[in-house]
A and B are shown apart, each in its own frame.
Chain A
Amino acid sequence: MIKIQNLTKVFRTEEVETAALSGISLEIKKGDFLTIMGPSGCGKSTLLNIIGLLDSASEGSYKLLDQEMIGLKEKGRAQVRKENIGFIFQNFNLIDELSVYDNIELPLLYNNVKAADRRKKIEAIAERLNISHRLKHFPQQLSGGQQQRVAVARALVNDPKIILADEPTGNLDSKNGNEVMELLTDLHAKGSTILMVTHSDYDASFSQRTIHMKDGVVFSEKLNQRNVDVFMDAK
């Protein structure tokens, strides 16, 4: 699904050139659940942003569904993004001025989905994420975990090809964080492709594969065995 070759990103200021990414190659297949880990400033967020078409690379190749993304104009990127990619953020990024329903509806609006279909889809996804009773509420009236579930619902409502999660549990306590991780695992089990950035080994352990990055390069890659954490369950 995603094929990245020799991807480089350089930030230039007047005096310094900083390579955030230097020659990353990566492949994500349909149905993968991949985690990127690494210390602050290692370039993992930059990579995620480039894959999410929020940022552009300086060099290299990035193919999404066999289509070259490097060099695409803003308009084309927006088009690809709204059809294929769902985002989940650490700070949820819900629009506080809109109700839960309206928030989830946004991607459908921008994808020109008919009004009747929109209602059906929103109700279905809300049901699935157990937030049906919250549709009329505003984000500020919900707990962190609920807010993140709304964000996940918004990311999923348009059936994206890949879900990008940027530290999805970073703003949550462990109970809510766990809920969100289980949600992602569940989605993965049903066939979604997920790419996640995290600091937490525990969160990473939910995924199939973990990539460790440092100073803009991938320095290790390992397959995860799904192991049940005894202590967490005991809590």
Chain B
Amino acid sequence: MILNWFKIFIYHLKQNKLFSFLNVLGLSIGIASVIFAILYWNNENAYDQWNPEKENVYVVLNKIGTTGDTWATSSIPFGETCKATIPEIDKVCFLYNWYDESVIKFQDQKILDKKITLTDENFFDFFPFEIIKGAKKNILKEKNSAAISEEQAQLIFKNDDPIGKSISYNNKDYTVKAVYRVTKPSSIEPNYIFSGIKRDGDKDQWGNFNYALMVKTKRGTDASEVLKKMQNVNYVNRTVKDAKAAGQTVEQYLKENGEIKVILNQLKTSRLHGTKSSGGQNLPEGQGNLKLLYIMGGLSVLILVLSMVNYINLATASAIKRAKEVGVRKIVGATKKQIIMQFIFETALITLVAIAFALAIVELSLPYYNTFLRKTLTMNGGEFYLQLILIFGLVLIFAGIFPAVYISNFETLKVLKGNFSRSKSGIWIRNSMLIFQFGIAAFFIIGALIVNSQVNYMMNKDLGFNGDQVLSITYNTKNRLTKTQDYFTAKQEIKKIPGVVDVTTFAGTFGGNEGSSSGFNHNGIFVQPKNIEMDYGFLDMMKIKILEGRDLSPQFASDTVNGMLINETLVKTLNLKNPINTMITSGWSIDNGDNLKFKIVGVVKDFNLTDLQNKVSPMVFINLKTLKWNNFSRVLVKVSPNNLSETLKGLKSYWEKNVNPDYPFDYEFVNKQFAKTYEEQVKQKNLFFILNLVVIIIAVFGLFALASFSMERRLKEIAIRKTLGAETDILLKELSKQYIIFCLMGFAVGIVPAYILLEKWLEDFAFRINISVVPFSISLISLLALTLIIVLAKAYQVTKIDILKYLKYE
């Protein structure tokens, strides 16, 4: 029986080579898109799942009451007090929630590594990586201990035993205690782990939120109970004490300042579903992009549905050609079930071929996809193959069963009498599916247009600063404490390099989220503005405008003592009518003295420092020399556009000789730096564009095939009309009319979800376009044009038939 089915299947495959090929191709594109989504999904959901402690480990976040920001960091006394007073907590671990980038030295080797984690003695209890060599326990307990990953051990020590060797990091010597193997994917995948994160000066500083904190609870502990107790630690040690210090009752204090709310993210779900900190990075490997994951998943399923609809449409339309066969089979004794089985069998074969095609497509384009996601996904794992089988099953059910049942229901008598080919059966289903396809196509076109215009908007938006010809160069001095002094010396030298126009710096990065902020109270309003410590000339070089007052200037000696600029947003937040000369008590103090007072000398026009997803934060601007925090990490150099490569060469040799020979010369144009903040959206735009192409190709092919089938069924009608004197243009109109109506109906179906979903996508941007009618009109016009071209071309071909042939037929 199977052989018999197979013969017929092969026969039809050969007969309709083009349609069969396109049909398989459409289906395989749909399946490939789902495979892409699955690979991404599997990877994101695999984070930390290897970790046996994933259910007991919680990442601690703090929602700061006064600003509403969520920080991924905590203070040392908070963590220590929690450990000491809450019996359910087994251990706590402090670490940096970012990787340090530094030079590791061993004898005369120097290696710049970008994945260094500084932590405390408990790290391996939280992330129990496999230990390959060295101590299995208490690895980081002793001061200045280090553990290194397998690859790095190989890199530095070759075949020697690394255990007990001394390596140097940040001018400090550490002893290698263990070599570990990172289990991926993990929220932390460090190359080097060093102990000794807790700075002595921070031990009693409840306000220094410098450290990421993880707590491990004892087995079977109720997390909400622990959370309550941790919240209480904050209340007792901070809120009550601070209220007392401010001379207020606790209620009054809470009302004015709010309180710090503790949030616990279980490691098991932290990556994708955990609360995100305002910086976006809770642990060094960052957070999963749940939104992108949903977008990918949703779009890929949509494409698969589209291709299945196509398949169903074609299968039912071409079924008419198979009607006689089905009739004969029924007469010689086939039951309905057997007919259904036969056609499901055919779908199964096609699906298998399509899956093979899809795997080839994925294999070939995986590198591009990996670049897009910045991942290294591969196709393997038992789970993946199970999912493939599941896809196979689903396609078989949704695309296979319907046409099979439809075909098996052909009435034997009608079929064999030969008047079946013009029957209208199943036509409404095909038409509604066509409308559905038009809907999906409209959705994709509108989506691509809107994403495109948002990205264009971001690329062309006036950012409030101008970074043309400004280089941002990493500045690592040998001694951090003399950084500012060193900078001023270096500045004079750098200015002498030919091609350099100007040199300045500030504590922050364009397009970056780092930088400090400090809160203060003014007239009962609490604010937490970003601290911009800058060199003179910074605003000028970046073409940032001053709205009122003046820039800080070396002409006023007081400017390095109590002169301050604030930005428009801060003026608004503080409700200042006449900001100039207003005195402000800052959140800063020197050596436990009183909080410093500042005079506002100017108002800076708002500019976008971080990205366009967030609003402009309130900012204060003070001179580099005022607090001497040495907090800046980059130097801005404006260069002349001529002879750029010479200038770069000069800068490079200066840097390598004079700044810090351990670090390579690492520069970037400020404009490019900022462009990175919308890199993600540019990629989404490109993704949408590619998907759009795919969708339109599938839809166009579906429309063409369906129009061909239904017009060919009307050949006799056309022949009769022609005999009666119908002219070509009337026939064309007659034949195309319904498709235009379907196109319009499909468009109507597509616009509502398109509007809602894209409005949701745009919600993420503080600086965004409004959805106008333009993308909708363009989409409608292009959809109509496409439909007309296809349908008219086919209709024209049909009207040119030989009348005699079709009138004589039958």
Binding site for B on A (CB under 8 A): 49, 52, 54-55, 74-75, 78-79, 81-83, 87, 89, 91, 93-95, 97-98, 102, 105-107, 109-111, 154, 158
Asked whether B333 lies within 8 Å of A98 as measured between CB atoms, the reply is no
Name the residue of chain B whose CB is nearest to the CB of A99.
B7
Asked whether A110 lies within 8 Å of B331 as measured between CB atoms, the reply is no
Bound together, the chains give a CA A74 to CA B324 distance in angstroms of 19
Asked whether B418 lies within 8 Å of A102 as measured between CB atoms, the reply is no
Please name the 8 residue pairs, one residue from A and one from B, whose CB atoms are nearest each other, closest first. Answer: A82-B333, A110-B333, A107-B332, A97-B11, A106-B332, A78-B335, A95-B325, A110-B334
Asked whether B324 lies within 8 Å of A106 as measured between CB atoms, the reply is no
Asked whether A106 lies within 8 Å of B335 as measured between CB atoms, the reply is no
Q: A93-B324, A98-B8 are in contact. Are A110 and B332 (CB under 8 A)?
A: yes
* A to B CB contacts below 8 Å, 19 in the list: A54-B331, A78-B334, A81-B331, A82-B334, A87-B331, A89-B416, A93-B324, A93-B327, A93-B328, A95-B325, A95-B328, A97-B7, A97-B11, A97-B15, A102-B4, A106-B332, A109-B1, A110-B334, A111-B333
Interface string of B335-371 (1 = CB under 8 A from A): 1101000000000000000000000000000000000
Q: Chain A CB within 10 Å — which of B8, B12, B329, B333 has the most?
A: B333
Bound together, the chains give a CA A105 to CA B327 distance in angstroms of 16
Which chain B positions have C-beta within 8 A of A109?
A: 1, 4
Bound together, the chains give a CA A6 to CA B324 distance in angstroms of 32
Asked whether A106 lies within 8 Å of B330 as measured between CB atoms, the reply is no
Binding site for A on B (CB under 8 A): 1, 4, 7-8, 11-12, 15, 324-325, 327-336, 338, 412-413, 416, 418
Q: A75-B335, A98-B4 are in contact. Are A106 and B416 (CB under 8 A)?
A: no
Q: A81-B333, A98-B4 are in contact. Are A110 and B338 (CB under 8 A)?
A: yes
Bound together, the chains give a CA A168 to CA B327 distance in angstroms of 18
Asked whether B332 lies within 8 Å of A74 as measured between CB atoms, the reply is no
How far does the Cβ of A165 sit from chain B's closest Cβ, in whole Å?
13
Asked whether A93 lies within 8 Å of B333 as measured between CB atoms, the reply is no
Q: Interface of chain B, helix or strand or loop or mixed?
A: helix
How far does the Cβ of B2 sit from chain A's closest Cβ, in whole Å?
10
How far does the Cβ of B411 sit from chain A's closest Cβ, in whole Å?
9
How far does the Cβ of A45 sit from chain B's closest Cβ, in whole Å?
9
How far does the Cβ of A168 sit from chain B's closest Cβ, in whole Å?
14
Name the residue of chain B whose CB is nearest to the CB of A157.
B332
How far does the Cβ of B471 sit from chain A's closest Cβ, in whole Å?
72
How far does the Cβ of A44 sit from chain B's closest Cβ, in whole Å?
14
Bound together, the chains give a CA A1 to CA B603 distance in angstroms of 109
Asked whether B333 lies within 8 Å of A107 as measured between CB atoms, the reply is yes
Which chain A positions have C-beta within 8 A of B329?
A: 95, 106, 110
Asked whether A55 lies within 8 Å of B413 as measured between CB atoms, the reply is yes
Which chain A positions have C-beta within 8 A of B12?
A: 97
Q: A98-B8, A106-B4 are in contact. Are A74 and B336 (CB under 8 A)?
A: yes
Which chain B positions have C-beta within 8 A of A52?
A: 331
Q: A74-B336, A93-B324, A106-B4 are in contact. Are A49 and B413 (CB under 8 A)?
A: yes
Which chain A positions have C-beta within 8 A of B325?
A: 95, 97
Which chain A positions have C-beta within 8 A of B416?
A: 89, 93
How far does the Cβ of B646 sit from chain A's closest Cβ, in whole Å?
76
Name the residue of chain A whose CB is nearest to the CB of B413.
A54
Asked whether A54 lies within 8 Å of B332 as measured between CB atoms, the reply is no
Which chain B positions have C-beta within 8 A of A81?
A: 331, 333
Asked whether B336 lies within 8 Å of A82 as measured between CB atoms, the reply is no
Asked whether B333 lies within 8 Å of A95 as measured between CB atoms, the reply is no
Name the residue of chain A whose CB is nearest to the CB of B12.
A97
Bound together, the chains give a CA A95 to CA B334 distance in angstroms of 14
Q: A54-B412, A106-B4, A109-B1 are in contact. Are A93 and B11 (CB under 8 A)?
A: no
How far does the Cβ of B144 sit from chain A's closest Cβ, in whole Å?
80
Name the residue of chain B whose CB is nearest to the CB of A112.
B1
Bound together, the chains give a CA A98 to CA B1 distance in angstroms of 13
How far does the Cβ of B4 sit from chain A's closest Cβ, in whole Å?
6
Which chain A positions have C-beta within 8 A of B418?
A: 91
Asked whether A154 lies within 8 Å of B413 as measured between CB atoms, the reply is no
Which chain A positions have C-beta within 8 A of B336?
A: 74-75, 78
Which chain A positions have C-beta within 8 A of B15?
A: 97
Name the residue of chain A whose CB is nearest to the CB of B2.
A109
How far does the Cβ of A73 sit from chain B's closest Cβ, in whole Å?
11
Which chain B positions have C-beta within 8 A of A82?
A: 332-334
Asked whether B330 lies within 8 Å of A78 as measured between CB atoms, the reply is yes
Asked whether A106 lies within 8 Å of B328 as measured between CB atoms, the reply is yes
Bound together, the chains give a CA A42 to CA B418 distance in angstroms of 20
Asked whether B333 lies within 8 Å of A78 as measured between CB atoms, the reply is yes
Q: A95-B325, A97-B325 are in contact. Are A154 and B412 (CB under 8 A)?
A: no
Which chain A positions have C-beta within 8 A of B11?
A: 97-98
Which chain A positions have C-beta within 8 A of B413?
A: 49, 54-55
Q: A54-B331, A81-B333 are in contact. Are A95 and B324 (CB under 8 A)?
A: yes
Asked whether A94 lies within 8 Å of B412 as measured between CB atoms, the reply is no
How far does the Cβ of B334 sit from chain A's closest Cβ, in whole Å?
5
Bound together, the chains give a CA A78 to CA B334 distance in angstroms of 7
Which chain B positions have C-beta within 8 A of A55?
A: 413
How far does the Cβ of B318 sit from chain A's closest Cβ, in whole Å?
13
Asked whether A102 lies within 8 Å of B7 as measured between CB atoms, the reply is yes
Q: Chain A CB within 10 Å — which of B4, B327, B331 has the most?
A: B331
A78-B333, A97-B11 provided; 18 other pairs, C-beta below 8 A? A49-B413, A54-B331, A75-B335, A75-B336, A81-B331, A89-B416, A93-B324, A93-B327, A93-B416, A94-B328, A95-B324, A97-B7, A97-B8, A102-B7, A110-B333, A110-B338, A154-B332, A158-B333
Which chain B positions have C-beta within 8 A of A89?
A: 416
How far does the Cβ of A160 sit from chain B's closest Cβ, in whole Å?
10
Name the residue of chain B whose CB is nearest to the CB of A74.
B336
How far does the Cβ of A29 sit from chain B's closest Cβ, in whole Å?
24
Bound together, the chains give a CA A78 to CA B332 distance in angstroms of 9
How far does the Cβ of B351 sit from chain A's closest Cβ, in whole Å?
22
Which chain A positions have C-beta within 8 A of B4?
A: 98, 102, 105-106, 109
Bound together, the chains give a CA A74 to CA B413 distance in angstroms of 13
Name the residue of chain B whose CB is nearest to the CB of A55.
B413
Bound together, the chains give a CA A158 to CA B4 distance in angstroms of 17
Which chain B positions have C-beta within 8 A of A98?
A: 4, 7-8, 11
Which chain A positions have C-beta within 8 A of B334?
A: 78, 82, 110
How far does the Cβ of A78 sit from chain B's closest Cβ, in whole Å?
5
How far does the Cβ of A97 sit from chain B's closest Cβ, in whole Å?
4
How far does the Cβ of A43 sit from chain B's closest Cβ, in whole Å?
14
Name the residue of chain B whose CB is nearest to the CB of A154.
B332
Which chain B positions have C-beta within 8 A of A95?
A: 8, 324-325, 328-329
Name the residue of chain A whose CB is nearest to the CB of B334.
A110
Bound together, the chains give a CA A52 to CA B769 distance in angstroms of 71
Name the residue of chain B whose CB is nearest to the CB of A109.
B1
Q: Chain B CB within 10 Å — which of A49, A55, A106 has the most?
A: A106
How far does the Cβ of A191 sit from chain B's closest Cβ, in whole Å?
22
Bound together, the chains give a CA A87 to CA B334 distance in angstroms of 14
Bound together, the chains give a CA A55 to CA B333 distance in angstroms of 15
Name the residue of chain A whose CB is nearest to the CB of B11.
A97
Which chain A positions have C-beta within 8 A of B333?
A: 78, 81-83, 106-107, 110-111, 158
Which chain A positions have C-beta within 8 A of B331?
A: 52, 54, 81, 87, 93
Bound together, the chains give a CA A74 to CA B331 distance in angstroms of 12
Bound together, the chains give a CA A91 to CA B335 distance in angstroms of 23
How far does the Cβ of B330 sit from chain A's closest Cβ, in whole Å?
7
Bound together, the chains give a CA A9 to CA B491 distance in angstroms of 107
How far does the Cβ of B8 sit from chain A's closest Cβ, in whole Å?
5
How far does the Cβ of B337 sit from chain A's closest Cβ, in whole Å?
8
Bound together, the chains give a CA A82 to CA B317 distance in angstroms of 29
Bound together, the chains give a CA A180 to CA B247 distance in angstroms of 117
Which chain B positions have C-beta within 8 A of A97?
A: 7-8, 11-12, 15, 325
Bound together, the chains give a CA A82 to CA B329 distance in angstroms of 10
Bound together, the chains give a CA A154 to CA B332 distance in angstroms of 8
Name the residue of chain B whose CB is nearest to the CB of A104.
B332
Bound together, the chains give a CA A114 to CA B338 distance in angstroms of 17
Name the residue of chain B whose CB is nearest to the CB of A164.
B331
Bound together, the chains give a CA A140 to CA B333 distance in angstroms of 23
How far does the Cβ of A177 sit from chain B's closest Cβ, in whole Å?
20
